[in-house]
């Protein structure tokens, strides 16, 4: 056989093996959780659609609360129950705390500075320590609350100047979109808005500004935000975690290197956990200990464990202060005579889960 024929055969063999590697499922070391059938090369990418949190919630109804999907070449495990949230965020937190890099950021070398993308290691630990001890510690936040108060008063004055015009209550980040969802739910449920207003009048008094120290005395306002987090988690699939080693969960294997997603949106709307899950009922949190601070796995809006959102203490203060102040200082109605029950609550999946149509509401100073 001449040399070129031999080379040709060798190249054909390499080509065939490469194609087979993409077409045939690789045998995992243990038993993977069940999941939908996949296509060659793209795996289950076509199952995600424009609203992956909803598609994954629907798939979980068929395949169960622990599923395997192949997103391109990445094995992805999706969990959708509080019990599994506890397994991932508490029991196996140490092994499931890594993150996958984002190629574009790696090319630009910016991943080395982004805390959410840093692998668990000395650098990540140092930045977290600085966040927890110097930036978001209760004592530090208490010390600079005057600055936030000034900013909120500036915002209120801005709203007052533009009163009776449409106020564009929008935003792209997690805190802004949570505020927008809370306002949208209150405008869609005017009786809840009146209840919140009455609580503020009673506890703070008309014409007085809200202080961060008032938040514990405002149970209905706190319940409104918890109910908003339940229905509209800003990061509906949390931030993806990466398995640092094989992990056994419920008799299945989460293989090393897998991407792990937790569907908070599905948990928040599960009728087995919540009565009347799609209705906005802040009352369900009155007299209940459940909070969103990482201890109750039915409401882990900020994650839990070692990767829990370090900005949570600041986000919670800002959200209560902004929402409380907007309710306390203005009467609100929807623009263009939109009926509350007809308000469009369509979602748009992005960095944070946003309202597809920004909320347009008209404030009238009280
Ligand atoms: C409503 C507002 C917010 C929500 C719902 C939210 C939610 C989250 C969630 C779910 C995670 C992933 C947790 C996990 O993997 O277990 C996270 C991580 C993170 N958040 Fe937030 N967040 C909010 C506001 C903020 C703010 C205001 C800041 C900073 C000023 C912030 C900074 C971060 C950082 C740096 C991480 C990455 C931590 C790490 O990977 O170690 N977040 N957040």
Q: Which residue has the tokens 């630990």?
A: 125
Q: Provide the pLDDT for residue 100.
A: 85
Ligand 1 center from residue 175 Cα (angstroms) = 10
Angle between helices 145-161 and 312-329 (to 10 degrees): 40
The tokens describing 48, both together, are: 């995600």
Which numbered atom of ligand 1 lies nearest the CA of 118?
40
Q: Are 353 and 235 in contact (CB under 8 A)?
A: yes
State the Cα–Cα distance between residues 97 and 116, nearest whole angstrom: 11
Give, rounded to a whole angstrom, the gap between the first and last alpha carbons of the chain: 94
The whole-number pLDDT of residue 144 equals: 93
Q: What pLDDT shows up at residue 101?
A: 74
The annotation status of 131 as a binding-site residue, yes or no, is: no
Instruction: List all residues 6 or more positions away from 110 whose beta carbon is below 8 Å from its beta carbon.
Output: none
The overall longest dimension of the chain from CA atoms, in Å, is 96
> What separation in angstroms does the CA of 182 have from each of 2, 225, 231, 320, 345?
75, 7, 10, 10, 11
Q: Judge if the beta carbon of residue 90 lies within 6 A of ligand 1.
A: no
The 3-state DSSP class for residue 354 equals strand
- The 10 Å CB-count burial string (b at 16+, else e) for 121-146 is eeebeebbeebeeeebeeeebeeeee
Residue at token pair 């038993």 = 31
Phi–psi pair at 363, nearest 5 degrees: -90, 140
Work out the number of other CB atoms within 10 angstroms of the CB of residue 75: 21
Dist. CA 81–CA 66, nearest whole Å: 8
> What pLDDT, on a 0 to 100 scale, did the predictor assign at position 15?
56
365 CB within 6 A, ligand 1: no
Distance 352 CA to ligand 1 centre (A): 11
pLDDT in tens, 319-348: 999 999 999 999 999 998 899 999 999 999
- Establish whether residue 114 lines the binding site of ligand 1, counting it when its CB lies within 6 angstroms of any ligand atom: no
- Taking residue 158's Cβ as centre, other Cβ atoms within 10 Å add up to 11
> Is the predicted ipTM greater than 0.85, yes or no?
yes
In this structure, the chain runs to a length of 366
Give, using CA atoms, the residue closest to atom 21 of ligand 1. Answer: 309
Q: What percent of the chain stands above pLDDT 90?
A: 80
Paired with 108 in beta bridges are: none
Q: Give the DSSP letter of residue 336.
A: G
Q: Which domains does the chain have, with CATH numbers?
A: 29-365 (1.10.630.10)
- In this prediction, the residues of the chain whose per-residue pLDDT falls under 70 are 1-29, 102-113, 163-172
Query: Is residue 82 in contact with ligand 1, taking CB distance under 6 Å?
Result: no
In this prediction, residue 106 carries a pLDDT of 64
Helix ranges restricted to H, the chain: 3-23, 45-48, 52-63, 82-86, 103-108, 122-130, 138-143, 145-161, 174-188, 190-203, 219-231, 264-268, 312-329
Q: Which residue has the tokens 């919630």?
A: 57
Task: Looking at the CA of residue 238, tell me the nearest atom of ligand 1.
Answer: 10
Q: Which two tokens stand for residue 211?
A: 């202080």
Count Cβ atoms below 10 Å from residue 246 Cβ, excluding itself: 15
The CB density around residue 301, as the number of other CB atoms within 10 Å, is 28
Q: What is the pLDDT of residue 30?
A: 80
């Amino acid at each position: 056989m001449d040399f070129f024929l031999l080379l040709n055969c060798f190249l054909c063999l390499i080509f065939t093996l490469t194609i087979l590697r993409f077409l045939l499922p690789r045998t995992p070391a243990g038993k993977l959780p069940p999941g939908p059938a996949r296509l060659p090369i793209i795996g289950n990418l076509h199952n995600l659609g424009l609203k992956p949190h909803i598609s994954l919630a629907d798939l979980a109804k068929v395949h169960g609360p622990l599923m395997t999907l192949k997103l391109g070449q990445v094995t992805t495990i999706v969990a959708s129950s509080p019990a599994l949230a506890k397994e991932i965020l508490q029991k196996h937190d140490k092994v499931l705390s890594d993150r996958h890099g984002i190629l574009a950021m790696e090319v630009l070398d910016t991943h080395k500075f982004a805390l959410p993308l840093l692998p668990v290691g000395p650098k990540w630990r140092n930045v977290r320590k600085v966040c927890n001890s110097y930036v978001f510690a209760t004592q530090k936040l208490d010390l600079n609350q005057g600055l936030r108060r000034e900013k909120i008063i500036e915002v209120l004055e801005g709203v007052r100047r533009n009163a009776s015009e449409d106020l564009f209550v929008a935003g792209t980040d997690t805190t802004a979109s949570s505020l927008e969802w809370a306002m949208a739910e209150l405008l869609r449920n005017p009786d809840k808005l009146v209840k919140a207003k009455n609580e503020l009048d009673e506890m703070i008094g008309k014409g007085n500004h809200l202080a961060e120290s008032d938040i514990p005395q405002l149970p209905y306002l706190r319940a409104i935000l918890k109910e908003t987090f339940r229905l509209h988690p800003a990061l509906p699939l949390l931030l993806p975690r990466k398995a640092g080693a094989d992990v056994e969960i419920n008799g299945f294997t989460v293989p090393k290197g897998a991407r792990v997603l937790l569907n908070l949106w599905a948990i928040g709307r599960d009728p087995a956990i919540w009565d009347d899950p799609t209705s906005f009922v802040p009352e369900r949190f009155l007299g209940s200990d459940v909070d969103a601070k990482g201890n109750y796995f039915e409401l882990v809006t900020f994650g839990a464990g070692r990767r829990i959102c370090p900005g949570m203490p600041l986000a919670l203060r800002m959200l209560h202060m902004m929402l409380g102040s907007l309710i306390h200082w203005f009467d609100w109605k929807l623009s263009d005579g939109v009926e509350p029950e007809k308000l469009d609550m369509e979602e748009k999946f992005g960095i944070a889960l946003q309202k597809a149509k920004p909320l347009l509401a008209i404030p009238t100073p009280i």
